[in-house]
Amino acid sequence: MSSKTIEQKQSPKQQSHFLSSFAIGVAKATGGTILGITMITSSIVAGGLVGLAISFRNLPDVRVLKNYVPSETSYIYDIKGRLLTSLHGEANREITPLKQISPELKRAVIAIEDSNFYQHKGINPYSIGRAAWVNWQKGSVSEGASTLTMQLVKNLFLTKERVFSRKLAEVIIAFRVEQVFSKDDILYMYLNNIYWGHNNYGVQTAAETYFNKRASELNLAESAMMAGLIQAPQQYSPFINYTATKRRQAVVLRRMRNLGWITPAEEAAARKEPLLVNKPTAWRTSKLPSVTEAVTAELKEKFGEEKVLQGGMRVQTTIDYYFQKMAEEEVKKGHRRIRSWGVRAEQVALVAVDPRTHFVKALVGGVDRDKSQFNRATQARRQPGSSFKPFVYYTAFASGKYTPSTTIEDSPVKYRVPSGYYRPKNYGGKFAGEMSLRTALLQSRNIPAVKLGKAVGLDKVIAVCRRLGIKSPLQPVISLPLGSIGVTPLEMAGAYATFANNGWHSETTIIIQVTDSKGNILLDNRPQPKLILDRWSTATLTSLMKGVIAEGTGKNADIGRPAAGKTGTTSSERDVWFVGYVPQLATAVWVGNDNYKTLGKGVTGGSHAAPIWRSFMLKALEKEPVRYFPAASQFPRP
């Protein structure tokens, strides 16, 4: 912006001189009639205009525009920079520098709206005089002669009410604006603020909406059409009345030719050129709604709704568009497959996290987004069943008192609870007697898990879960080791990702970075890994969970490379899970019903969630090399 400044308030004498000059211009414009001159002279002599000048001493200080930041649309991108959606309130706007706006558009706008823009000082007395004469004759404000500066002032400072007092305020403020800012500054603010129709404010979003182009790429025909919209955006919209659009475009081109700014040949060529317009971008929906809604919710929590909708954020997510679409398709295929088996499952959710960065790579909140917008991946807290047991086993190993060969009794037990007695049962109802912790986990025995949890301390198990990023409410109830509390698939995938990275943890995130429209960083979620788990205990747990897939309840998750995981099945078969990982990817799959109805007798995580996990992982890892987990022998025991 220009560094030139003026006093916030001019003296009555200065404002009187300005208005007197303005009045003479009006008189000249009205033909110098005796009536016109007499009227204006009488007003000045009577002190009327001086009184008006004094009354406007408290108008806004235009210098505030130096720090003015208009509301601006925020944009969400995938990890490769592909646009997923835009977020905005009333104003869909992207600010663009004046040098990045097509010269053709700038000329077209100035030609039709204010051809003397670079000559006047904010007002055009002759044009205003003609309008004033017509308005005086009609007794109301029916005709205007606003310069670009006056239009800018009206949009930023004043109401749109068409009364004489507002018009005079507009003139005075426009005069002040021209004293403070350069012409290019004023044109920059004007082009980025005015309304172009279909919820587009500012030239950049309008260019994208109508032509799917940057404002710098508009040609003469497109620029003339855009300039023609300013007077009445809806009336001349090509989406509403293409014929009216072309008529208005011709008016702009004729004006440019009359001014000598284009040749007759250029005018004729532009008039003949068809306008290849798109659907308005403001009407488009998100390309990945499950992702962008989760991102938006996180942004609003961190920054507030107003900042998100009006702050011009540029949000880079962790999601690759094509990878996400593949995950969505695998969920649909998996759902169709288990339904064909007679499983009464209405929903499937899937979350995949990169253990090396804890970036969310896929986030599928349900089977069919068109039928249900509820995001089960981030919002549904469902019981994880036996897929919670690894947290208990890790806690035991990290205590230094247990190893995989430690034995435990799989035998009847009861615990006193407020409601009476709690008697845990194994799936199938049988007991196996003494067994090693390795065998207990491979076979997913419930009673050993409950006994182990009680022995190591449920508060310590919860503390481990908190370190792993599980924020859902957890209570130290006896049944906790059996996954009797609700967690989200996102929490489970993030926690297992730390196991996959052998104890190294970053905050699980779907957002890499947020900047403002000028590139200033507002949020930086690039990984800052910390070692939060004991490495021997984590490697030992991974070894056991490799066995779950190789010879335990997770055989249907075998993907032909080293992988670890755990099945989960809740009582009455309401929720079934498989959560597993390789060094490059951790994935949680949940299957269930929103109304908690049973899935059917005999439905388990190993038989129904694991196949979906396997199918997805095979696709996801097609181009990934086989990697191996570190052996526990590499690390000292706690």
173 in a domain, yes or no?
yes
Neighbours of 619 (CB within 10 A): 13
The reported pLDDT for the residue numbered 68 is 65
Question: How distant, in Å, are the alpha carbons of 113, 207, 220, 223, 300 from that of 217?
Answer: 21, 9, 10, 10, 34
Secondary structure of residue 114 in the 3-state scheme: coil
Q: How does strand 74-77 pair with strand 314-317? A: parallel
Q: Within this chain, do residues 231 and 131 fall inside the same structural domain, yes or no?
A: yes
309 in a domain, yes or no?
no
Q: What is the mean pLDDT of the chain?
A: 86
Q: Within this chain, do residues 246 and 330 fall inside the same structural domain, yes or no?
A: no
Q: Within this chain, do residues 333 and 455 fall inside the same structural domain, yes or no?
A: yes
Q: Point out the domain boundary residue: 249, 282, 315.
A: 282
Mean pLDDT value of segment 484-502: 97
**Residues 234-289: tens digit of each pLDDT:** 899 999 899 999 999 999 999 999 999 999 999 999 999 999 887 654 445 789 99
pLDDT-based confidence at residue 1 (cuts at 50, 70, 90) = very low
Greater model confidence, 62 or 424: 424
Beta bridge partners of 279: none
Residue 481 has pLDDT above 90, yes or no: yes
Q: How does strand 433-436 pair with strand 564-569? A: unpaired
Q: Within this chain, do residues 488 and 559 fall inside the same structural domain, yes or no?
A: yes
- Answer yes or no: 386 catalytic: yes
Least trusted range by pLDDT, from 91-95, 403-407, 461-465: 91-95
- Orientation of helix 264-272 relative to helix 220-229, angle to 10°: 80
pLDDT-based confidence at residue 66 (cuts at 50, 70, 90) = low
318 in a domain, yes or no?
no
What's the predicted TM-score (pTM) here? 0.75
Which amino acid, one-letter code, is at 418? P
Mean pLDDT value of segment 470-496: 96
Greater model confidence, 42 or 392: 392
Q: Within this chain, do residues 232 and 119 fall inside the same structural domain, yes or no?
A: yes
Give the domain range for residue 123: 90-282
The reported pLDDT for the residue numbered 153 is 82
pLDDT-based confidence at residue 163 (cuts at 50, 70, 90) = very low
The reported pLDDT for the residue numbered 477 is 95
Q: Within this chain, do residues 485 and 403 fall inside the same structural domain, yes or no?
A: yes
- Answer yes or no: 479 catalytic: no
294 in a domain, yes or no?
no
The reported pLDDT for the residue numbered 24 is 45
The reported pLDDT for the residue numbered 540 is 98
13 in a domain, yes or no?
no
Q: Within this chain, do residues 365 and 505 fall inside the same structural domain, yes or no?
A: yes
Q: Within this chain, do residues 203 and 98 fall inside the same structural domain, yes or no?
A: yes
The reported pLDDT for the residue numbered 359 is 98
Q: Of 205, 206, 204, 250, nearest to 228 (Cα)?
A: 250
| Tally of structural domains, the chain | 2
Mean pLDDT value of segment 42-49: 41
Residue 18 has pLDDT above 60, yes or no: no
165 in a domain, yes or no?
yes
**Residues 403-430: tens digit of each pLDDT:** 999 999 999 999 988 888 999 999 888 9
Could you say which of 113, 222, 330, 491 is catalytic?
113
What's the chain's length in residues? Answer: 638
DSSP state, residue 469: T
Could you say which of 237, 290, 386, 387 is catalytic?
386
pLDDT-based confidence at residue 544 (cuts at 50, 70, 90) = very high
Residue 298 tokens read as 């996180």
The reported pLDDT for the residue numbered 46 is 38
d(C-alpha 599, C-alpha 593), whole Å: 8
Residue 34 has pLDDT above 50, yes or no: no
Mean pLDDT value of segment 497-502: 98
Residue 8 has pLDDT above 60, yes or no: no
Residue 436 has pLDDT above 80, yes or no: yes
Side-chain half-sphere exposure of 619, counting CA atoms within 13 A: 20
The reported pLDDT for the residue numbered 94 is 84
Greater model confidence, 48 or 615: 615
Residue 25 has pLDDT above 60, yes or no: no
Least trusted range by pLDDT, from 125-129, 197-201, 553-557, 630-634: 125-129
pLDDT-based confidence at residue 199 (cuts at 50, 70, 90) = confident
DSSP state, residue 478: T
Secondary structure of residue 530 in the 3-state scheme: strand
Residue 219 tokens read as 């040609």
Mean pLDDT value of segment 204-209: 90
Domain holding 526: CATH number? 3.40.710.10
Residue 444 has pLDDT above 70, yes or no: yes
**Residues 349-384: tens digit of each pLDDT:** 999 999 999 999 999 999 998 888 899 999 999 999
Residue 619 has pLDDT above 90, yes or no: yes
Q: Within this chain, do residues 104 and 247 fall inside the same structural domain, yes or no?
A: yes
The reported pLDDT for the residue numbered 128 is 59
d(C-alpha 376, C-alpha 155), whole Å: 44
560 in a domain, yes or no?
yes
pLDDT-based confidence at residue 603 (cuts at 50, 70, 90) = very high
The reported pLDDT for the residue numbered 65 is 65
Residue 170 has pLDDT above 90, yes or no: no
Q: Within this chain, do residues 335 and 269 fall inside the same structural domain, yes or no?
A: no
487-498 in b/e form (b: 16+ CB < 10 A) is bbbbbbbbbbbb
Q: Point out the domain boundary residue: 282, 315, 337.
A: 282
Q: Within this chain, do residues 361 and 438 fall inside the same structural domain, yes or no?
A: yes
Secondary structure of residue 195 in the 3-state scheme: strand
**Residues 569-592: tens digit of each pLDDT:** 998 889 999 999 999 999 999 999
End-to-end CA gap in the chain: 64
Mean pLDDT value of segment 505-524: 94
222 in a domain, yes or no?
yes
Express as a percent the part of the chain with pLDDT over 90.
Answer: 65
Domain holding 118: CATH number? 1.10.3810.10
Most confident of 118-132, 135-149, 507-521: 507-521
Report which secondary-structure segment, H or E, holds 86.
Answer: strand 83-87
Q: Within this chain, do residues 343 and 238 fall inside the same structural domain, yes or no?
A: no
Q: Point out the domain boundary residue: 253, 282, 311.
A: 282
d(C-alpha 169, C-alpha 296), whole Å: 41
Residue 626 has pLDDT above 60, yes or no: yes
Greater model confidence, 600 or 23: 600
